[in-house]
Amino acid sequence: MDLKDVKAVVTGGASGLGEACVRMLAGAGAKAAIFDMAVERGEKLAAELGKNVIFVNTDVTNDEGVQSSVARAVEAFGTINGAINCAGVGAASKVFSKKGPYPLKAFNWVVQINLIGTFNVIRLAVEQMVKNPPNAEGERGVIVNTASAAAFDGQIGQAAYSASKAGVVGMTLPIARECADYGIRVATIAPGLFNTPMLAQLPQEIRDALGQSVPFPKRLGNPVEYAMLARHIIENPMINGEVIRLDGALRMAAK
């Protein structure tokens, strides 16, 4: 798909990996709708990037809310033919600790946003994309999801996060197989340790140590590098049904 023809929704688009993707799209002349709950950041980013970018206050777990947000993007752009799912949260806790068992509410919160929220956006984006006329390749749309290296080698305390991201990995192929009939591609990026707001909450010395744990390059990933891969997935029609690790050969230890 030609990037300048892309009209995409980007969840979690007000910061981190999502923001990098919004900037990448806008810089290439594409259109992007920022779906996020960080109103101030989202509105500021949209204003900075100009008329091809809009902000829509969106809770990805809300059925009617995402329907309304997709409708708003379609109203602004005429249609959508791209969706990049970057909205995500983490809540580290052991299954059992001195505080007792892992709070079920916290586990559910992570899964609701990371997994169910991703699926919610996928299903409603596909509903719109099937209406698009196909391009020369027969393509009507492309969806890029975000999993994590933790889907494969999650650490102690990451049960909720790893489960939610493993769910994103697990649904990639079946959704891609179904959407092949519609001319819509589906792929997932599984980043390792990236310099995002989630990691920014940690002390600098811990972030430095995490970066040194990456085989090469020995540093945290830059969100721009995630956006570079998202761009390639959008532009390369043979990438479909695949989960791509983006982690500098990192394989995380148990803790």
Nearest alpha carbon to residue 92 among 145, 162, 148, 146: 162
Q: Mind listing the pLDDT tens digit for each residue in 142-197?
A: 999 999 999 999 999 999 999 999 999 999 999 999 999 999 999 999 999 999 88
Nearest alpha carbon to residue 86 among 117, 112, 108, 55: 117
pLDDT of 119: 98
The enclosing H or E element of 72 equals: helix 63-77
Is 182 assigned a catalytic role?
no
pLDDT of 100: 94
Radius of gyration of the chain (CA): 18
Query: Is 30 within 8 Å of 36 (Cβ atoms)?
Result: no
Query: Is 130 within 8 Å of 184 (Cβ atoms)?
Result: yes
How does the average pLDDT of the chain come out, rounded?
96
Query: Is 198 within 8 Å of 226 (Cβ atoms)?
Result: no
DSSP conformational letter for 154: P
- Among 102, 161, 182, 226, the active-site one is 161
Phi, psi values for residue 26, rounded to 5° = -60, -40
pLDDT of 238: 98
Please give the structure tokens belonging to residue 197.
């707001």
**pLDDT tens per residue, the chain (255 residues)?**
999 999 999 999 999 999 999 999 999 999 999 999 999 999 999 999 999 999 999 999 999 999 999 999 999 999 999 999 999 998 889 999 999 999 999 999 999 999 999 999 999 999 999 999 999 999 999 999 999 999 999 999 999 999 999 999 999 999 999 999 999 999 999 999 999 887 777 788 888 888 999 999 999 999 999 999 999 999 999 999 999 999 999 998 888
Nearest alpha carbon to residue 76 among 132, 34, 115: 34
Distance from the Cα of residue 116 to its chain's centroid = 13
Query: Is 52 within 8 Å of 31 (Cβ atoms)?
Result: yes
Please give the structure tokens belonging to residue 108.
């559910």
